[in-house]
A = this chain, B = another copy of it.
C-alpha cells in the first residue's frame, strides 16, 4: 500500500498529515488558510504551497471538509445516508486528475428537512475504525455540533446543533455579555454543572439562556462563572434534545477541551461509557476511504 497525503480543509483552517503505507502519521502541518481566506481560483496554489512537496512522493492526496463545498475548491456532491466507506470512495471529486481528490459530504433527510455535513463524516468513519466499532452514537462538538448514528460501519443519520455558534454570539454580543468578563476564564465545573441541571429542567434554550443574566444580576453566580454556566446550558440543551435516543455509550470526537465538557455532561445524563477520539480520527478516515477505492 502506498502512502498518501491526508488533508482536512475547513472553513478556518487547513491541516494535513503524511500517512505511511500502514496509515501511520509520519508528519503533520497546519496553516491558517481556511477556505474563507482563499480566493475562488486560489485553491490549487494554496494546496501546492502547503503540500506540493509531499504529493510528489505519495502521488495521492485526499481532502475532506469544506474544500468540497460550493465556496470551496471543487464542489463534491453529497452522499445520501446511509453511506459508508464504499459510497464515499466511489463519489470522490477530483480537483487534480489522479493526484488530489475531495471526499463528498453527507446529507440526510428528516421528514423533508435536509441536514448536511462536510468533514465530520470522515472523522466518524475514522473514529469507528480506531475504536473497532460498527454501531455507535457519536457526537462531534463544535461551532455546529453533529450527533451521528452509525450502524454496520455506515452513517445512518445525523442532526446538527448550532451550539458553538449560538454560544459565541450570546457570550460576546448579547445582553448576557454585559455580565461576563472580556477574557475567557478556565472552565468552572460547578457553574457548568449548574447550567447542565438548568438545561435538563428547561423546555427551551431560548428561555434557560436568560437565567445567565438573572443569576448574575442577583449575585448568585460570579461574572467569572457565567461563561461556564452558559456553556452548560447550551451543551445541556443538546443532550436534553436527544431524549430517549441517547445511548448508554457515546463516542465524542473532538479536541480535549470540548471532549472534557461533553464527558461531564454525558455523565450527568447517566451515560455509562464515554469514549473519545481526537484529531487522528480525520487521518484514519481519509486512510480508510483511500483504501476503499
Interface residues of A (CB under 8 A from B): 111, 113-116, 144, 159-163, 165-166, 169-170, 173-175, 198, 201-207, 209-211, 214-215, 217-218, 220, 234, 237-238, 240-243
Contact = CB atoms under 8 A, between A and B. Distances in A.
A198 B115 CA distance: 13
17 contacts: A113-B214, A114-B214, A114-B218, A161-B204, A161-B206, A161-B207, A161-B210, A162-B170, A162-B207, A162-B209, A165-B174, A165-B175, A169-B169, A204-B240, A205-B205, A206-B237, A206-B238
Nearest to A71: B178
A162 B174 contact: yes
Contact of A204 (B114, B115, B198, B237): B237
A237 B238 CA distance: 15
A235 to B, nearest CB: 10
Contacts of A238: 204, 206-207
Contacts of A160: 207, 210
Contact of A116 (B114, B203, B217, B234): B217
A217 B144 CA distance: 16
Residue of A116, A163, A170, A203 with most chain B CB atoms under a 10 A cut-off = A203
Contacts of A215: 113-114
A24 to B, nearest CB: 36
Contacts of A201: 111
B116 A214 contact: yes
Contact of A166 (B113, B114, B170, B217): B170
A17 to B, nearest CB: 27
A206 B237 CA distance: 8
A169 B159 contact: no
A122 to B, nearest CB: 19
B214 A162 contact: no
Contacts of A113: 198, 211, 214-215
Nearest to A235: B206
A203 B200 CA distance: 12
A206 B162 contact: yes
Contacts of A205: 204-206
A223 to B, nearest CB: 14
Given A114-B215, A204-B238, A205-B204, A210 B174 contact: no
A214 B105 CA distance: 13
